[in-house]
Amino acid sequence: MDARLNYFTNPTAGKALKHFMAAGRTLKESPLPAATQELVALRVSQINGCAACIDMHTKEAAAAGETPVRLNLVAAWREATVFTEAERAALALAEQGTRVADAADGVGDEVWEAAARHYDEDQLTALVLLVAFLNAVNRLNIITRQPAGDYEPGQFH
C-alpha cells in the first residue's frame, strides 16, 4: 500500500508538521505518565482505525517496557485486570473524547470526575491535549492512507 501523500517531501506538509511534531514532543515531556500516554495513544488510534499510529504506539510502548499482555488488552480494557484505576480513567476519557460524534454530551461528568481524581491539573490538561492531538494525527494518516508495519521506535524523535 502506498500513501496518497508523502508528508516528508511536501513543502506545505513539512512546514505544518514541524509544529505537530513540536506539539507531540511537548506532550511527551508533560507530567502525564509515559505509560498512560502510550496506552491512550494506542486506544484512540484503535478506535479511529489508524494503522500507522497503532503500529507506532504499540512499538513505542513495547520499547519503553510495556508488556505484551497490557498492549494486547488495551482494546478490551474494561474487562482486563491489568490496568490501574488511573489508567482506566484515562482510557475512559480518551474513548469518550474520541467518540464525540457518538455521544450528544461528549465527555460525561462521571468520566471527567474519575480522571480528575487521578490526575492533577497539569496531567489532566496533558491528557485532554493528547486525546485531541492523536485524533488529529489519526485523521491525517487515515485520509492519506499512511501504511503501517515499518515503524521503528524513536523514528520521529
Residue-wise pLDDT for 87-122, tens only, equals 999 999 999 999 988 776 789 999 999 999 999 999
For 88, the 3-state DSSP assignment is helix
CA dihedral over 147, 41, 105, 20, signed as positive or negative: negative
pTM of the model: 0.93
CA dihedral over 12, 94, 32, 84, signed as positive or negative: negative
Domains of the chain, by residue range, sit at 33-143
For 137, the 3-state DSSP assignment is helix
Over residues 53-77, the pLDDT tens digits come to 999 999 999 999 999 999 999 999 9
Task: Give CATH superfamily name and number for 33-143.
Answer: AhpD-like (1.20.1290.10)
Q: 10 Å Cβ neighbour count for 76?
A: 8
